[in-house]
Amino acid sequence: MQPVKNKKLTYLLICAVAAVWGIIIYKVLFNETETDYEPKFKAVKEAPEPFDQYLAKDDTFKLVLNYRDPFLGGVSVVTENKNTGAAVPVQANFNQPPPPPPIDWNVIKYSGYIVNPATKKLVAILVINGKEQMISEGQSFEGVKLLQNRKDSILVSWQGKKKYIKQ
């Protein structure tokens, strides 16, 4: 395609561009009035003075400061002074009870299982404190209760704890 060399069309487009820019410049420079910038809505009641909104109120809460002191290691208890009403920290060392001793599960050994021919149920062979006993689910021996009997492991309850013991 060859470019069209039409001088009339070029002059016409130049005049259109000049007219558009002339309108824009006229609107910006010469058409400013103060009434254009006034709000077109009704006035609202004036708000009260700012200091009325922020009245100082008495505190309606108390801080609970019974957390561990990061420097001294104990729990810091804060009590109120009856004369002045100020909080006075009092150092209180609450000794935590020692953790319960760990349960030694090594005294319980799962030797294996046999199938009861009459009931077709599994019977576990346990060795507890050197004593061997055959028990089924729900039975207890030496304080150890058999909860579940599986072929590869058993679930026992002893001293309030539960544990799977493998063969």
Backbone CA torsion sign across 117, 118, 119, 124: negative
Query: pLDDT tens, 110-154?
Result: 988 888 888 888 899 999 888 898 998 889 988 899 999 888 889
Q: Are 135 and 145 in contact (CB under 8 A)?
A: no
The domain that holds 130 is classified in CATH as 2.30.30.830
Calculate the average pLDDT of the chain: 79
SS3 assignment, position 7: helix
Domain presence at residue 125: yes
| 125 and 80 fall within a common domain | no
| 89 and 117 fall within a common domain | no
Structure tokens at 20: 């558009």
Rg of the chain in Å (alpha carbons): 45
- Residue 52 pLDDT > 60, yes or no? no
Domain presence at residue 132: yes
How many domains is the chain built from? 2
Last residue of a domain, one of 96, 120, 147: 96
Domain presence at residue 91: yes
- Residue 79 pLDDT > 90, yes or no? no
Domain that holds residue 152: 105-166
SS3 assignment, position 19: helix
Domain presence at residue 138: yes
| 109 and 157 fall within a common domain | yes
